[in-house]
Amino acid sequence: MEPIKNFLKGFFEYFKQSSTEYIEFELRELENVFALILMASFIGIPSPPTTLVLRLMPHMVKEIKVMQQRAIDLDDVFAEVAGMFDID
């Protein structure tokens, strides 16, 4: 009975870890997209009113850091996504 219990425990731990990684990845992507949408008005793409963007800027420190990190790591986005889904 103990081996089955250990197998199920490992099985559920693996899925818990994988799910957490997917959720963290999606959170980073959503923060990046949110920052890009708000910053789009600065490069001429119609988006939320500039006054709204300026009001939100002080609260967007984390999103701007995520956007900067994504710009640095941008050379291999598809490899990151493929790695998450174990695609060779």
**Could you write out the DSSP letters of every residue in 21-52?**
HHHHHHHHHHHHHHHHHHHGGGGT---S-HHH
Q: Domain of 53?
A: 1-85
Q: Is the pLDDT of residue 25 over 90?
A: no
* pLDDT score of 23: 93
* pLDDT score of 16: 92
Please give the tally of structural domains in the chain: 1
Q: pLDDT digits over 28-82, tens only?
A: 888 888 888 888 877 777 777 778 878 888 888 888 887 788 788 777 777 777 7
Cβ contacts of 64 within 8 Å, gap of 6 or more:
35
Q: What is the pTM of this model?
A: 0.61
21: Cα separation from own chain's centroid: 10
First to last CA, the chain: 36
* pLDDT score of 20: 93
